[in-house]
Structure 1
Amino acid sequence: MTASVRRTGRLPLAAAVLAAGLTACSTLTGVTSPADARAAAARDGGPAGPVDCATAHCVALTFDGGPSAPTPELLDILKREKVPATFFLQGKGHTEKYPQTVRRMAEEGHEIANHTWSHKDLTKLDPDQIRAEIEPVQKDIEDATGKRPTLMRPPHGTTDDEVSAVLEKLGLAQILWSVTAKDYATTDTALIERRVLDGADRDGIILLHERYAGTIPAVPDIVRALRDRGLTFVTVSQLMAPAHPRPGKVYRP
């Protein structure tokens, strides 16, 4: 999986997110780190969130592509470990099929966000097609929880100015990541753990997918190891507080 930000006109600027971190491109524009957004808001006098990530060493654990049949098992682990997560939910076969799981996520304090209806590359769609990928998921989540998401993650992390313009009108900020275990390509739990632990650091955003067989068994050891390093788990919005994610804008550690 790669994350890239493209200019209007679909010319790539390129940034590849690897298992152990991010290879950045100096020509990227319009991308803000959660830490920078947080610091700017703090300078303006905004209050800290429930965890002050300006002083605590925070990290956000995120999951894409659910909910799925295994998701309740993951929720049990997160509840036991007292870890809040951010879930970027997919629509087709997921939010439409497991509304009760979406409701449980919200009830247990997790942050819920949008990951499109069918995981299409949004940079290859026109504005109406982009809206068609976003709005049904917004409705499913609102029906289940009473709230519409304000965050989304573009499939493959691929976005551009045209996508951002549509998402701004829809009230959605774009959240990328700093480390992924590429768990969509392996069932090796030990490898997933190692990739996350090699790349995770303060103010990072970890990307996993709970529907793949090797992922959920890796979560308890990932949580304990990162806590042993002094990291505190927060949602993406908590990571950015007192900043409020701005619709259309792209955030990436």
Structure 2
Amino acid sequence: MITLVRRRATLCALGTLTAALAALAGCAGETSGEVGRPAHPPASAAAPSPPAPPTLAPGPSGLTPVFENGPRSRGRTVALTFDADMTADQGPRAAAGERFDNPALVATLRRLKVPATFFMTGRWAEEYPAQARAIGRDPLFEVANHSYSHHAFTGRCYGLPTVPAARMRADMERAFAAFRAAGVERRVPYFRFPGGCYDQRALRALAPGGVTAVQWDVVSGDAFATDPAAVARQVLDGVRPGSVVVMHCTRSAAPTTERALRTIVPELRERGFRFVRVSEQIGAAGSVGVRG
């Protein structure tokens, strides 16, 4: 009888101790039955978002800023840029077999491990969505806006049709929408005017879009060129620290560019140049190369 009483007393004491421990743990938060372990662990901290691509401050009177080259004195960097041109009315030509893409050029950039910025028209992204998506997901590259239609934003621009001022921003936004629809991930808020033609009216029209307009200081001369050695020579003669080179990645309009790259890239590396995307140059530039 005494043994039974002692056993009951021991069990009672253990129950009291267990209850006390549970109550104590409850003060620290909900438990899952194991002291000190939360029933619903806090969600792990989300991975930090990548930093937004740098842009330049608006130009005078709030106009879209214009970037032409990176700093000349902050290392020997050079940005190769490639315009993926296709105008809104060239669909029939593509359907008939004309090629506005250049997979071999993209493959050469990858093989040589060359970062680059592609200025893509929305119409090009619609015609070649798989290629646009692959370029836009490759960490070597970034995709910038070259308008939707590749129509000029000024009059008298190499014979291109003209976008009315009231539709300029809509044309740019339509290109960004085409990139999203194609699954392009590495989109950057940079805009290149078709033909490089712009004026204050065009800069004013695009200002609410928050983009930086990107020009160049080295013309490759690859458009409709037939001699890759001449293209390479023109680039090599023109490049300086901080240069932005304009080239094309359309087979029908720039058939020699890929072959020229095979000379340009190793030669510039031999001279001590480092290839970068435009975003890196803009980030380093501050106010260098800005015009309003």
Residue of structure 2 in register with 1:102 after alignment? 132
Deviation at 1:147, TM superposition (A): 5.7
> Retained in 1: the 8 A contact 2:137–2:186?
no
Deviation at 1:226, TM superposition (A): 0.6
Structure (1/2) with the larger strand percentage: 1
> Retained in 1: the 8 A contact 2:73–2:241?
no
Residue 70 to residue 121, structure 1, CA distance change in 2 (3 Å): closer
The equivalent position to 1:133 in structure 2, one of 171, 188, 193, is 171
* CA distances 1:112-156 after superposition (whole Å, capped 9, x unpaired): 111112222202443322124212211111222246530010012
Matched, 1:80 2:111: yes
Residue of structure 1 in register with 2:80 after alignment? 61
Identity %: 32
> Retained in 2: the 8 A contact 1:141–1:147?
no
Deviation at 1:171, TM superposition (A): 2.0
* Structure 2 residue matching 1:187: 3-state secondary structure: coil
2:193 and 2:207 map into 1 onto residues whose CA distance is 13
Matched, 1:235 2:277: yes
Residue 112 to residue 62, structure 1, CA distance change in 2 (3 Å): same
1:204 and 1:147 map into 2 onto residues whose CA distance is 22
Deviation at 1:72, TM superposition (A): 2.1
> Retained in 1: the 8 A contact 2:70–2:285?
no
2:84 and 2:262 map into 1 onto residues whose CA distance is 20
Residue of structure 1 in register with 2:44 after alignment? none
Deviation at 1:185, TM superposition (A): 3.2
Residue 62 to residue 106, structure 1, CA distance change in 2 (3 Å): same
Q: Relative CO higher for 1 or 2, CA cutoff 8 Å, sep ≥ 6? A: 1
1:149 and 1:177 map into 2 onto residues whose CA distance is 17
Matched, 1:179 2:221: no
Matched, 1:152 2:191: yes
TM-score normalized by the length of structure 1: 0.72
Which stretches in structure 2 are left out of the alignment for 5+ residues?
1-60, 87-98, 156-162
* Structure 2 residue matching 1:61: 3-state secondary structure: strand
Amino acid at match of 1:35: G
Residue 186 to residue 82, structure 1, CA distance change in 2 (3 Å): same
* CA distances 1:10-61 after superposition (whole Å, capped 9, x unpaired): xxxxxxxxxxxxxxxxxxxx7555435xxxxxxxxxxxxxxxx964310000
> Retained in 2: the 8 A contact 1:208–1:215?
yes
Matched, 1:222 2:257: no
* Structure 2 residue matching 1:59: 3-state secondary structure: strand
Residue 34 to residue 199, structure 1, CA distance change in 2 (3 Å): closer
Number of residue-to-residue matches in the alignment? 205
